[in-house]
Chains A and B, each alone.
Chain A
Amino acid sequence: DAKTTQPPSMDCAEGRAANLPCNHSTISGNEYVYWYRQIHSQGPQYIIHGLKNNETNEMASLIITEDRKSSTLILPHATLRDTAVYYCIVRVSPNSGGSNYKLTFGKGTLLTVNP
Protein backbone atom coordinates (compact mmCIF):
# COMPACT_ATOMS: atom_id res chain seq x y z
CA ASP A 1 0.00 0.00 0.00
CA ALA A 2 1.06 3.54 -0.71
CA LYS A 3 2.40 5.34 2.34
CA THR A 4 1.22 8.74 1.17
CA THR A 5 -2.09 10.59 0.98
CA GLN A 6 -2.82 13.13 -1.73
CA PRO A 7 -5.99 14.96 -2.81
CA PRO A 8 -7.46 13.30 -5.89
CA SER A 9 -7.62 16.49 -7.93
CA MET A 10 -6.69 20.16 -7.97
CA ASP A 11 -7.13 23.07 -10.33
CA CYS A 12 -4.72 25.91 -10.98
CA ALA A 13 -4.82 28.97 -13.21
CA GLU A 14 -2.13 29.25 -15.85
CA GLY A 15 0.76 31.41 -14.66
CA ARG A 16 -0.07 30.96 -10.99
CA ALA A 17 1.78 28.78 -8.52
CA ALA A 18 0.49 25.26 -8.07
CA ASN A 19 0.91 23.88 -4.54
CA LEU A 20 0.39 20.13 -4.30
CA PRO A 21 0.21 18.70 -0.77
CA CYS A 22 1.18 15.24 0.40
CA ASN A 23 0.83 13.58 3.78
CA HIS A 24 3.34 10.90 4.78
CA SER A 25 2.86 10.64 8.52
CA THR A 26 4.51 7.20 8.81
CA ILE A 27 7.70 8.14 6.97
CA SER A 28 10.85 6.54 8.36
CA GLY A 29 14.08 8.34 9.11
CA ASN A 30 15.87 6.91 6.08
CA GLU A 31 13.05 7.48 3.61
CA TYR A 32 13.11 10.22 1.03
CA VAL A 33 10.13 12.01 -0.48
CA TYR A 34 10.01 11.71 -4.26
CA TRP A 35 7.69 13.43 -6.69
CA TYR A 36 6.87 12.17 -10.17
CA ARG A 37 4.28 13.24 -12.68
CA GLN A 38 2.61 11.39 -15.50
CA ILE A 39 1.15 13.03 -18.52
CA HIS A 40 -1.51 10.93 -20.18
CA SER A 41 -0.20 7.66 -21.63
CA GLN A 42 3.46 8.56 -21.05
CA GLY A 43 5.89 7.13 -18.54
CA PRO A 44 6.17 8.91 -15.17
CA GLN A 45 8.66 11.78 -15.13
CA TYR A 46 10.93 12.41 -12.18
CA ILE A 47 10.49 15.90 -10.71
CA ILE A 48 12.36 16.24 -7.45
CA HIS A 49 13.19 14.47 -4.20
CA GLY A 50 14.34 15.40 -0.72
CA LEU A 51 15.06 14.05 2.75
CA LYS A 52 14.43 16.86 5.22
CA ASN A 53 15.67 20.08 3.70
CA ASN A 54 13.75 22.09 1.16
CA GLU A 55 14.87 21.43 -2.39
CA THR A 56 14.62 23.38 -5.62
CA ASN A 57 15.45 22.56 -9.20
CA GLU A 58 14.52 23.90 -12.60
CA MET A 59 11.13 22.23 -12.50
CA ALA A 60 9.83 22.72 -8.99
CA SER A 61 10.42 23.30 -5.29
CA LEU A 62 9.85 20.78 -2.53
CA ILE A 63 8.95 21.97 0.94
CA ILE A 64 9.15 19.32 3.69
CA THR A 65 7.79 20.10 7.15
CA GLU A 66 10.14 19.95 10.09
CA ASP A 67 8.52 16.77 11.43
CA ARG A 68 8.69 15.30 7.90
CA LYS A 69 5.07 14.16 8.09
CA SER A 70 4.00 16.19 5.10
CA SER A 71 5.39 18.01 2.10
CA THR A 72 4.33 20.37 -0.67
CA LEU A 73 5.42 20.38 -4.28
CA ILE A 74 5.39 23.86 -5.76
CA LEU A 75 5.28 24.59 -9.47
CA PRO A 76 6.01 28.33 -9.41
CA HIS A 77 4.39 29.33 -12.70
CA ALA A 78 2.09 26.58 -13.92
CA THR A 79 1.54 26.15 -17.64
CA LEU A 80 -1.00 24.11 -19.57
CA ARG A 81 1.71 21.50 -20.15
CA ASP A 82 1.90 20.91 -16.39
CA THR A 83 -1.54 19.25 -16.49
CA ALA A 84 -0.77 15.73 -15.28
CA VAL A 85 -1.16 13.26 -12.44
CA TYR A 86 1.37 14.02 -9.71
CA TYR A 87 2.60 11.24 -7.46
CA CYS A 88 4.20 11.67 -4.07
CA ILE A 89 6.23 8.64 -3.02
CA VAL A 90 8.38 7.79 -0.04
CA ARG A 91 11.21 5.32 -0.41
CA VAL A 92 14.69 4.62 0.84
CA SER A 93 17.55 5.94 -1.22
CA PRO A 94 19.34 3.41 -3.45
CA ASN A 95 22.50 4.68 -1.77
CA SER A 96 21.26 3.64 1.67
CA GLY A 97 22.70 0.15 1.45
CA GLY A 98 19.31 -1.52 1.82
CA SER A 99 17.48 -3.61 -0.75
CA ASN A 100 13.90 -2.34 -1.05
CA TYR A 101 14.06 0.46 -3.56
CA LYS A 102 10.76 -0.04 -5.29
CA LEU A 103 8.44 2.89 -5.93
CA THR A 104 4.98 2.38 -4.48
CA PHE A 105 2.58 4.61 -6.35
CA GLY A 106 -0.72 5.75 -4.91
CA LYS A 107 -3.46 7.31 -6.99
CA GLY A 108 -1.78 10.71 -7.10
CA THR A 109 -3.29 14.14 -7.69
CA LEU A 110 -4.68 15.11 -11.06
CA LEU A 111 -3.58 18.71 -11.53
CA THR A 112 -5.52 20.58 -14.17
CA VAL A 113 -4.05 23.90 -15.27
CA ASN A 114 -6.72 26.13 -16.75
CA PRO A 115 -6.13 28.93 -19.27
Chain B
Amino acid sequence: KAGVTQTPRYLIKTRGQQVTLSCSPISGHRSVSWYQQTPGQGLQFLFEYFSETQRNKGNFPGRFSGRQFSNSRSEMNVSTLELGDSALYLCASSFPQGGYTFGSGTRLTVV
Protein backbone atom coordinates (compact mmCIF):
# COMPACT_ATOMS: atom_id res chain seq x y z
CA LYS B 1 0.00 0.00 0.00
CA ALA B 2 1.54 3.32 -1.07
CA GLY B 3 2.16 5.89 1.63
CA VAL B 4 1.66 9.63 1.57
CA THR B 5 3.52 11.09 -1.39
CA GLN B 6 4.80 14.63 -1.42
CA THR B 7 6.34 16.37 -4.38
CA PRO B 8 8.79 17.82 -4.92
CA ARG B 9 11.17 16.65 -2.20
CA TYR B 10 13.39 19.70 -2.45
CA LEU B 11 12.75 23.17 -3.77
CA ILE B 12 14.73 26.39 -3.95
CA LYS B 13 12.87 29.62 -4.59
CA THR B 14 13.66 33.30 -4.54
CA ARG B 15 12.07 35.85 -2.23
CA GLY B 16 8.87 37.21 -3.70
CA GLN B 17 8.11 34.16 -5.78
CA GLN B 18 5.27 31.77 -5.14
CA VAL B 19 5.38 28.01 -4.72
CA THR B 20 2.93 25.12 -4.93
CA LEU B 21 3.50 21.87 -3.08
CA SER B 22 1.60 18.67 -3.75
CA CYS B 23 0.42 15.85 -1.54
CA SER B 24 -1.18 12.54 -2.51
CA PRO B 25 -2.76 10.84 0.51
CA ILE B 26 -3.03 7.14 1.14
CA SER B 27 -5.73 5.66 -1.05
CA GLY B 28 -9.10 5.96 0.67
CA HIS B 29 -8.01 8.65 3.12
CA ARG B 30 -10.15 11.74 2.78
CA SER B 31 -8.46 14.01 5.31
CA VAL B 32 -5.23 15.81 4.50
CA SER B 33 -3.35 18.09 6.87
CA TRP B 34 -0.35 20.32 6.30
CA TYR B 35 2.38 21.21 8.80
CA GLN B 36 5.40 23.48 8.72
CA GLN B 37 8.54 22.50 10.58
CA THR B 38 11.36 24.92 11.34
CA PRO B 39 14.21 24.64 13.85
CA GLY B 40 12.90 27.60 15.83
CA GLN B 41 9.16 26.93 15.90
CA GLY B 42 9.03 23.16 15.59
CA LEU B 43 6.04 21.50 13.97
CA GLN B 44 3.16 23.90 13.39
CA PHE B 45 -0.26 23.14 11.98
CA LEU B 46 -1.15 24.96 8.77
CA PHE B 47 -4.56 23.61 7.73
CA GLU B 48 -6.64 20.50 7.28
CA TYR B 49 -8.93 19.51 4.43
CA PHE B 50 -11.68 16.93 4.42
CA SER B 51 -13.78 16.16 1.36
CA GLU B 52 -12.49 19.26 -0.45
CA THR B 53 -13.40 21.58 2.45
CA GLN B 54 -11.00 23.32 4.80
CA ARG B 55 -11.93 22.04 8.22
CA ASN B 56 -9.28 23.71 10.37
CA LYS B 57 -6.72 26.46 9.91
CA GLY B 58 -3.64 27.36 11.91
CA ASN B 59 -2.23 30.79 12.68
CA PHE B 60 -0.47 31.55 9.44
CA PRO B 61 -0.82 34.62 7.20
CA GLY B 62 -3.07 34.60 4.19
CA ARG B 63 -0.06 34.02 1.95
CA PHE B 64 -0.44 30.38 2.89
CA SER B 65 -3.37 28.67 1.22
CA GLY B 66 -4.41 25.22 0.19
CA ARG B 67 -7.01 23.18 -1.54
CA GLN B 68 -8.13 19.61 -1.92
CA PHE B 69 -9.37 17.93 -5.05
CA SER B 70 -12.14 15.39 -5.48
CA ASN B 71 -9.59 12.56 -5.49
CA SER B 72 -8.36 13.80 -2.07
CA ARG B 73 -5.04 15.01 -3.44
CA SER B 74 -4.08 18.33 -1.92
CA GLU B 75 -1.93 21.28 -2.79
CA MET B 76 -0.65 24.12 -0.69
CA ASN B 77 0.49 27.42 -2.07
CA VAL B 78 2.69 30.09 -0.56
CA SER B 79 2.73 33.44 -2.30
CA THR B 80 5.24 36.26 -1.97
CA LEU B 81 7.84 34.02 -0.38
CA GLU B 82 9.90 35.31 2.53
CA LEU B 83 13.19 34.00 3.87
CA GLY B 84 11.36 32.82 6.98
CA ASP B 85 9.22 30.48 4.89
CA SER B 86 12.21 28.19 4.50
CA ALA B 87 11.09 25.00 6.19
CA LEU B 88 10.15 21.37 5.88
CA TYR B 89 6.51 21.18 4.81
CA LEU B 90 4.79 17.99 5.84
CA CYS B 91 1.53 16.52 4.67
CA ALA B 92 -0.42 13.89 6.60
CA SER B 93 -3.50 11.85 5.78
CA SER B 94 -5.86 10.30 8.25
CA PHE B 95 -5.32 6.76 9.42
CA PRO B 96 -8.36 4.51 9.99
CA GLN B 97 -7.74 4.20 13.73
CA GLY B 98 -7.22 7.92 14.12
CA GLY B 99 -3.48 8.29 13.71
CA TYR B 100 -2.11 10.42 10.91
CA THR B 101 0.38 9.07 8.40
CA PHE B 102 2.93 11.64 7.33
CA GLY B 103 4.78 11.98 4.08
CA SER B 104 8.53 12.59 3.88
CA GLY B 105 7.97 16.30 3.33
CA THR B 106 9.09 18.98 0.92
CA ARG B 107 12.11 20.97 2.00
CA LEU B 108 11.70 24.53 0.78
CA THR B 109 14.62 26.92 0.77
CA VAL B 110 13.97 30.58 0.06
CA VAL B 111 17.00 32.61 -1.00
Which A residues form the contact surface with B (CB < 8 A)? 32, 34, 36, 41-46, 49, 87, 93-95, 99-107
Q: Mark B63-80, 1 if CB is under 8 A from A, else 0.
A: 000000000000000000
CA distance A2 to B94 in the complex (A): 20
Consensus secondary structure, chain B interface? strand
Chain B, residue nearest A57 (CB): B97
* Residue numbers in B under 8 Å from A41 (CB-CB): 88, 105, 107
Contacts of B56 in A (CB 8 A): 99-102
Beta-carbon contacts under 8 Å, B68-111 to A: 88, 90, 92, 94-95, 97-105, 107
Task: Give CA–CA (A50, B31) in the complex, Å.
Answer: 21
Q: Report how far A3 CA is from B92 CA in the complex, Å.
A: 21
Given A41-B88, A42-B104, A44-B43, answer yes or no on A99-B99 (Cβ-Cβ < 8 Å).
Answer: no
Q: Flag whether B24 is at the interface (Cβ < 8 A).
A: no
Name the residue among B35, B43, B95 with the largest chain A CB count within 10 angstroms: B43
B33 x A103 contact (CB < 8 A): yes
Q: Which residues of B contact A107 (CB under 8 A)?
A: 42
Dominant SS among interface residues on chain A:
loop
- Docked complex Cα distance between A76 and B73 (Å): 37
Interface pair A94/B92, CB less than 8 Å apart: no
Q: How far is the CB of A43 from chain B (nearest CB, A)?
A: 3
CB of B48 within 8 A of CB of A101, answer yes
Q: Does B28 contact A (CB under 8 A)?
A: no
A-B contact pairs, 26 of them (CB 8 A): A32-B98, A34-B99, A41-B107, A43-B4, A43-B90, A43-B105, A45-B102, A46-B95, A46-B100, A46-B101, A49-B97, A87-B43, A94-B94, A95-B98, A99-B55, A99-B56, A100-B56, A101-B31, A101-B56, A102-B45, A102-B48, A103-B33, A103-B43, A103-B45, A103-B100, A104-B45
Per-residue A-contact encoding for B20-39, CB less than 8 Å = 1, 0 else: 00000000000101010000
Chain B residue numbers with a CB within 8 Å of A44 are 43, 90, 92, 100, 102
Which chain A residue has the least Cβ–Cβ distance from B43? A105
Q: Give the chain A neighbours of B58 by CB distance below 8 A.
A: 102
Across the two chains, which residue of chain A brings its CB closest to B58?
Answer: A102
